[in-house]
């Protein structure tokens, strides 16, 4: 028997085929404007990124993919350059072309869903990165020929070139085939140096884990999902809404909020602009400082 992984407090994503049919019928009745997309940054700091080995920076490639430069290490989160996801075409081009990336030292994978783990992308990465993956995924990487792979369970950590990498809980699920439902874990990663900490949340619904994480870590920058939440009766367990993402940010006591997981693929009924609009409204309703919210254009770098 393969081990099955579960959420904190036993929360399950137990939507049925009947629920799927209900969602499909609802979807037909909704008219969405898919012509307005998240814009590309007019400035791409590719030269600066290639030269940088000292300054902390992050660049939004799109969806949940960031190039993070920390402590002289080039990190990629959930690298996906795929032009399609299932039957749907990618809505926005990646912010940096694969061939324009610097050599990658470290890759973190939050979970096994195809919009977060894309082996055709991994094959094309420059360098010889070390992969950090959730428990249960190492065998798949080994079968694909990857040898530099570290598997982590929740609350476990590893060290890489002066960076402490902590794997922390998320509320989600995973599956890549008909027979491997929840046979690997899911979660987020916190990158800690002596100076700062960055938290890549991965995919998650709103859950009590944010409070537990805030008790253990001081977070400077959080890369937080805000999209694929509609319809909320179907998605809320696994995908956090913009309003709840702000609530989670407050609970984390983090300094900077960087939104992600919106605008690249149509995984649910909401659109990228809708997710952003709700995020801005929630931010204002909590009267949070504008400078703490860093909404990036695709391909934009903060250095």
**pLDDT value of position 232:** 84
β pairing state of 84-85 and 88-89: antiparallel
- The structural domains of the chain, with segments of one domain joined by +, span 43-302
In angstroms, rounded to a whole number, what is the distance separating the alpha carbons of residues 271 and 264? 9
pLDDT digits (tens, 9 = 90+) for 74-110: 999 999 999 999 888 999 999 999 999 999 999 999 9
**pLDDT value of position 178:** 87
Instruction: Pick the more confident residue, 34 or 115.
Output: 115
**pLDDT value of position 19:** 65
**pLDDT value of position 35:** 79
pLDDT digits (tens, 9 = 90+) for 251-278: 999 999 999 999 999 888 889 999 999 9
Contact between 9 and 189 (Cβ < 8 Å):
no
pLDDT digits (tens, 9 = 90+) for 211-234: 999 999 999 999 999 999 988 877
Whether residue 13 has pLDDT greater than 80: no
* Average pLDDT for 194-201: 96
Which fold is adopted by the domain 43-302?
Metallo-beta-lactamase; Chain A (3.60.15)
What would the two tokens of residue 238 be?
């696994």
**pLDDT value of position 153:** 97
Contact between 115 and 267 (Cβ < 8 Å):
yes
The DSSP line for 119-183 is: HHHHHT-SS-PEEEEETT-HHHHHHTT--SEEEE-TT-EEEETTEEEEEE--S----SSTT-TTS
β pairing state of 130-134 and 106-108: parallel
Orientation angle between helical segments 242-252 and 209-216, nearest 10 degrees: 30
What would the two tokens of residue 289 be?
């400082």
Contact between 135 and 104 (Cβ < 8 Å):
no
Burial class for 156, CB neighbours closer than 10 Å (0-12, 13-18, 19+):
middle
Whether residue 12 has pLDDT greater than 70: yes
The radius of gyration of the chain from alpha carbons, rounded to an integer in Å, stands at: 18
* Average pLDDT for 128-149: 97
Give pTM, 2 decimals: 0.95
Q: How confident is the model at residue 300 (pLDDT cuts 50, 70, 90)?
A: very high
């Amino acid at each position: 028997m393969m081990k099955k992984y579960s959420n904190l407090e036993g929360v399950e994503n137990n939507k049925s085929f009947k629920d799927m049919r209900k969602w499909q019928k609802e979807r037909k009745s909704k008219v969405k404007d898919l012509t307005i997309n998240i814009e590309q940054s007019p400035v791409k700091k590719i030269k600066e990124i290639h030269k940088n080995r000292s300054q902390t920076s992050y660049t939004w490639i799109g969806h949940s993919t960031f190039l993070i430069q920390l402590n002289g290490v080039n990190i990629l989160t959930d690298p996906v350059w795929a032009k399609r996801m299932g039957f749907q075409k990618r809505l926005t081009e990646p912010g940096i072309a694969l061939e324009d990336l610097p050599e990658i030292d470290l890759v973190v994978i939050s979970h096994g869903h195809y919009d977060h783990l894309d082996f055709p992308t991994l094959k094309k990465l420059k360098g010889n990165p070390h992969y950090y993956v959730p428990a249960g995924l190492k065998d798949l990487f080994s079968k694909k020929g990857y040898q530099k792979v570290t598997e982590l369970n929740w609350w476990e950590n590893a060290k890489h070139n002066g960076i402490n990498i902590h794997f922390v809980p998320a509320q989600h699920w995973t599956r890549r085939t008909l027979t491997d439902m929840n046979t690997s874990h899911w979660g987020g990663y916190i990158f800690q140096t002596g100076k700062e900490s960055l938290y890549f949340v991965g995919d998650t619904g709103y859950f009590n884990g944010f409070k537990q994480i805030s008790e253990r870590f001081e977070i400077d920058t959080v890369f937080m999902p805000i999209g694929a939440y509609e319809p909320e009766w179907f998605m809320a367990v696994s995908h956090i809404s913009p309003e709840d993402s702000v609530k989670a940010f407050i609970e984390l006591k983090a300094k900077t909020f960087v939104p992600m997981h919106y605008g690249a693929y149509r995984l649910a009924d909401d659109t990228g602009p809708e997710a952003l609009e709700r995020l801005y409204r929630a931010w204002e309703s909590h009267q949070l400082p504008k400078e703490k919210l860093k909404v990036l254009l695709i391909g934009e770098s903060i250095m």
